[in-house]
Structure 1
Amino acid sequence: MTEEFAIVLTAYGALRGRKVTAKAGNSYFSFQGIPYAKPPVGPLRFKVAQPVEPWSGIRNALKEGPCCPQIELIMNLPYRGNEDCLYINVYSPKLPSTGQILNYPVMVWIHGGGFEMGSGDSNIYGPEYLVNENVVVVTFNYRLGIFGFLNVDDGSTPYNVGLKDQVAAFRWVKENISVFGGDPNNVTIFGESAGGASVHFHMLSPVSKGLFHKAILQSGCALNEWKAAAEPQEVAFIVAQKLGCDATDVQGLVSFLSTVSARDLVEKYNEYSASPGEKGSFRPMPEKPIPDDEVFLPTDARELMESRQFCHVPVMIGLNSKETIIFLDMMGVRKNPENVKNLIEHIGMFIPKSMGSNSEQKEKAVKEFYFGQENRNERLVEALIDCTSDMAIARGVEEATKILSEGFFPVFYYNFNFSGKLNIFKHFVNATELSGASHLDELGYLFATPFFNVPEVASDSPEALVRKRMVKLWTNFAKTENPTPKLDPEINVKWPPYNVQNAEYLSITDTLSIQKHYNKERMDFLNNL
């Protein structure tokens, strides 16, 4: 079979992509590994992304660019990546002919991974189901860990360059997406985990204003606590010392870190992260202005939310029912009952700082509320999942939902609670005996995920139906600002916007239903703690 190629002309030069036929039979156009900024290497390490240099001739866009430097802990992968990693991928149902304007809605995906790992690669985020609903899908990489969030005060190193990479990607989309058939004035940004938090940060940033028109936050928001270091500069000195740096001033620190190999930086930072008494991680932070730099996050996310300084756009926001299966599995909880008891004994470490000082009384109240007198291990595991999911994700997401619902546009709240063969993380670690949906699990119902080697599902299976419904809900929202714009026999429910009085949300199981007050007793307990 002859491969079919396609050429588009962007503002920076011509690109050669290919026509792809998906397993489902639909075809779309794929352009991968497109540079959206200059490679952030050498003197550009730790600097804000610079505009990409134009090229002459036709550049191949036939394979993805390398991911950014990282060690992938969840998938247990060794060091990988390259500092030359700022690449974007575009997938379109149809390309415009000369002079034609197609204006497909655009969905720009921000990958998760705790701001330390991940990429926009199609082995986890295959676009075929979404593109089949006539939207243009965009994925990309952004700098991670110390490369994206060094955040030190030397007067010249910008904060949050990982988030500013995302802004550079959005600007590239605004400038170029029409040649792929996309509408630059109808852009939905969506993301999961740290990607969901990133979406929220863009809603809070004056720099991102006007670059997107709708937002979807999945299993993460800026009000969740991302294990951020209170003093990232102190962490940077610790990592540098592990690499042999004897600098005592910040300028010397940055100068040293600018010359170390990417691999050494990632591996020593990872070594620090795994050590007892580590002081938190490199994460998004409020920034101090420096010359010639845009201030992305002028103050704390909570302050911006409480003072209602957020971008008023339609929002979909939600979470999975058993988020922390993923993290507790990494801690060996399912396999070792002693680990369960040990984590319950130290449950105070999960209490968010935003809930005030972690007193013995709070810890005691949490233990009593979630665990009571229970001593059966399987019940303790379920209670531990509920407790940690509530504190790590649910409480922050619900708080964000309430505040965002006071804006000028609708907010649609959901809970994903389906357990099936496409729940990618539960399938990956063989945790199918646990009820509900882990962190990551909804991704198998939006994207093709060949990395996880999930089984094929029959077209009449519950999994295929859930996937069809979720893809339709997400793309309806991208097209119309409403996930259920008209009665649809496949969806068969009208999803109302959230308001604080009714607190209605969409429950996604093997059926769709509208429920009220997500886990009210548990949320009330935490809010009153």
Structure 2
Amino acid sequence: MSAPPLNPKAGLRAALLLLLCAVALVSITAAPAAGAGPGSPDSRRGDRTVVRTEQGLVRGLSHGSYTTFDGIPYAAPPTGPLRWRAPVPATAWQGVRDATRPAERCVQMPAPGASGVTGSEDCLYLDVTVPTAEPAAGKRPVMVWMHGGAFLGGSGSDYNAGRLSVQGDAVVVTVNYRLGIFGYFGHPGLGAAPPFGLADQQAALRWVRANAVRFGGDPRSVTLFGESAGALGICAHLTSPTAAGLFQRAVLQSGSCLTSFPRGALAPGTPAYEPFAPEAEVQMVGTRAARQLGCTEGGNEEVLACLRGRSTDRLATAQLMQSFNRPAFGNGLLPEAPARALASGRFHRLPVMLGTNHDEMRMFVGLSLAAFPIRTEGDYRARLTEAFGAAAPAVEARYRAADHPSPALAWAAVLTDRSFTCTTLAAGRTIAEHAPGLSLHGYEFDDPHAPVLAGLPANPDFPYGAAHGFEMPFLFTPFPTERPLDEAQRTLSDRMVAYWTAFARTGNPNSTDAPPWPALRMSSPHAPSVQSLAPEPGGIHPVDAYATHQCSFWDRLSR
């Protein structure tokens, strides 16, 4: 969500607490893999748990069918004088570095009621997962995962990539990057600095390019994939001139260059949300933050020196962290807003797979109901009026509360269609218009009984369905949910892993033993070309998401 003012009103404070809960839910640490097996004696005698990177040797941990190399630095610690500077390469080391456990996560948005800061500023590390078996053919494709969490929370080590790696015969890399005020701060003294968190992601991709072959991966076959804020970051890299050549394919899950929320989407009183902000706006918020932190004496250099001298605890407050979770454009990394760049055709031509979940906004609405209930049609109408103003009656006529099990579920359907599904399809249409021969595939995850992510409040009157983030347990296992996948869901999981890794290998998710997945044909927006991913028999098939989610209505309304 967008950053509130430094002195938010009560509605914004409550919305912030809801956002904190959402960040925590999508960044819960997955359970560690079981069954770690013994490694071989030494790399010089065939020990595959030891690999020489550009900076030095690392020793990983064998888990039988795969090996993990955790906590590898891809950049120097962004601390002290390197706080709010572009990442610089990690220094070399002597001997064999232990890579058997993840590094600390980057400083996170503090959870409600937390007594201290979570994470460390020394956090620019990545984890590599490699199958133990010999590759099926030549070098393996490399998949680089960017976690979600609203640019405020999460960690690469939250995602166990063993299944993706082994079943897909791929090298999988998961990445930490700076968050909140540490990753997206701006100030006139910094000039047109890049969004540091996105610069971190590009530094990780440069590390992958330099080191992939050492882990058996192909540096010319790198797929960047991510969910939510991770997908928004990938949208940025698709339009970033400094990302040219760093990856060859992209998968965007529940986030696109056109994602946006109307007023009041998270809670009454919250402003409209665009995921990227002009550099001048971020600098203005940074100037206010500097005053709040008591750094006002002297010129810009003195102010920045004062800010760099402030402790992590002083900076990592919920208020300050959330004030900086929108990457800035108007700099070398992002010369313009990604939506504008996409519309102008200024993006990298490479295969793209993008999609959403059928009930995206039920997760956010479900979190908000205790504080902001939507019990009656009057409650629903008030939310529509705040969000859409004079267009509210037209939206209500299209999404009548009586046509849904409850007014709250009607509101979630409105936001899912308007903010996720239709903006993602519009992004796909824009890509297709400018690059008609590009490999482009769309999907909709649609398991109405997907396991609920651990920690979400139970509400028998508000089923979550296929909500935001609920596809994660189908790609990364184990994953913290309130129950495990059932047999049909495990079959769907197998198919999704196969689709994702086939795309990573060839730029096309199709294979000979899978239900065919048509290209996202946008010459006719009503073409049923989005692949539905559901567990029931026949649940994997093309669907017309454009019609199902009322996208012609939202297209007209946005003009």
Give the TM interval when normalised to the shorter protein. Answer: 0.7 to 0.9
1:306 and 2:343 aligned: yes
Q: Once the 2 structures are TM-superposed, how far is the Cα of residue 473 of structure 1 from its aligned partner?
A: 0.7
Give the secondary-structure state (helix, strand or coil) at the position aligned to 1:216: strand
Aligned length: 490
Q: CA deviation at 1:483?
A: 0.8
Tell me the distance in 2 between the aligned counterparts of 1:78 and 1:519. 48
Alignment partner of 2:145 out of 106, 109, 120: 109
Deviations 1:1-44 (A, max 9, x none): 963261111111000011113xxxxx101100000000000000
Cα displacement (A) at 1:493: 3.1
Corresponding position of 2:505: 479
Q: Which amino acid aligns with 2:132?
A: K
CA displacement 1:333-370 (0-9 Å, x = unmatched): 5994459955641435556xxxxxxxx31234333432
**Which residues of 2 match residues 252-271 of structure 1 at below 5 A?**
252-267=302-317, 270-271=318-319
Quick check: 1:232–1:282 contact (8 Å CA) kept in 2? no
Write the distance in 2 (CA, Å) between the matches of 1:66 and 1:349: 41
Counterpart position of 1:187 = 222
**What residue in structure 2 maps to residue 434 of structure 1?**
463
Q: 2 CA distance for matches of 1:134 and 1:75?
A: 43
Secondary structure class of the residue paired with 2:498:
helix
User: Helix, strand or coil for the counterpart of 1:200?
Assistant: helix
1:284 corresponds to = 327
C-alpha distance in 1 between matches for 2:338 and 2:490: 38
What is aligned with 1:357?
none
User: Partner of 1:24 in structure 2?
Assistant: none
Q: What secondary structure sits across from 1:83 in the alignment?
A: coil
- For 2:113 and 2:338, the matched residues in 1 are separated by 30
TM-score w.r.t. the length of structure 1 is: 0.85
Alignment match, 2:288: 238
Residue type of the alignment partner of 2:155? S
Q: Which runs of 5+ in 1 are unaligned?
A: 22-26, 275-279, 289-294, 352-359
Q: 2-side partners of 1:369 and 1:170: how far apart?
A: 44
- The match for 2:399 is 370
2:530 alignment counterpart: 505
CA 1:157–1:514 in structure 2 vs 1: closer, same or farther (change >3 Å)? closer
Matches within 5 A, 1:132-281: 132=166, 133-156=168-191, 158-225=193-260, 226=274, 231-247=281-297, 250-267=300-317, 270-271=318-319, 281=324
Which moved further from structure 2: 324-333 or 191-200? Answer: 324-333
Task: State the 1:435 CA deviation.
Answer: 5.5
> In structure 2, do the counterparts of structure 1 residues 190 and 312 end up closer, same or farther at CA, with 3 Å as the change threshold?
same
Q: Is it true that 1:46 corresponds to 2:84 in the alignment?
A: yes
Q: Which residue of structure 1 aligns with residue 267 of structure 2?
A: none
TM-score normalized with structure 2 length: 0.81
The alignment partner of 1:34 has SS state of strand
CA RMSD of aligned residues (A): 2.9
SS of equivalent residue, structure 1 residue 317: strand
SS of the aligned residue for 2:444 comes to strand
CA distance in 2, matches of 1:179, 1:223: 37
Q: Does structure 2 conserve the Cα–Cα contact (< 8 Å) formed by 1:144 and 1:162? A: yes
- Report the residue type matching 2:543 in the other structure: Q
Matches within 5 A, 1:516-527: 516-519=544-547, 522-527=550-555
Question: What percentage of residue pairs aligned between the two structures are identical?
Answer: 30
The alpha-carbon distance between structure 1 residues 442 and 168, as it changes in their structure 2 partners (threshold 3 A), is same
1:153 Cα deviation (Å)?
2.8
* 1:522 Cα offset (Å): 1.8
What's 2:266 paired with? Answer: none
Contact 1:229-1:235 within 8 A present in 2 as well = no
Comparing 73-82 with 221-230, greater Cα deviation is found at 73-82
Q: Which residues in structure 2 correspond to 1:277-356 (within 5 Å)? A: 281-288=324-331, 295-332=332-369, 336-337=373-374, 342=379, 344-347=381-384, 350=387
Q: Is the 8 A contact 1:332 1:339 kept in 2?
A: no
Question: Which has the larger displacement, 313-322 or 76-85?
Answer: 76-85
Structure 1 position 414, deviation (Å): 0.6
Q: Match for residue 86 of structure 1? A: 124
Residues 375-405 of structure 1, C-alpha deviation per residue, up to 9 Å, x if partnerless?
98x4211111111122332232111111112
Consecutive unaligned residues of structure 2, counting only runs of 5 or more, are: 1-35, 41-48, 261-273
- Cα deviation per residue 1:222-246 (whole Å; 9 max; x = unaligned)? 2213455562223223333433344
Maintained 8 Å contact 1:101/1:178: no
Residue 71 of structure 1: SS of its match in structure 2?
A: coil
Pair 1:523–1:72, CA change in 2 (3 A): farther
Larger RCO, structure (CA 8 Å, separation 6 or more): 2
Of 48-57 and 239-248, the range deviating more from structure 2: 239-248
The answer to whether the aligner puts 1:4 opposite 2:39 as a matched pair is yes
Contact 2:84 2:196 in 1 (8 A): yes
1:155-189 CA distances to partner (integer Å, 9 max, x unpaired)? 54622111010000000000001111111111100
* Cα displacement (A) at 1:436: 2.8
Tell me, what secondary structure is at the counterpart of 2:497? helix
Assess, with a 3 A threshold, how the Cα gap between structure 1 residues 36 and 224 changes in structure 2: closer, same or farther: same
TM-aligned CA distance change 1:313 to 1:72, over 3 Å: farther
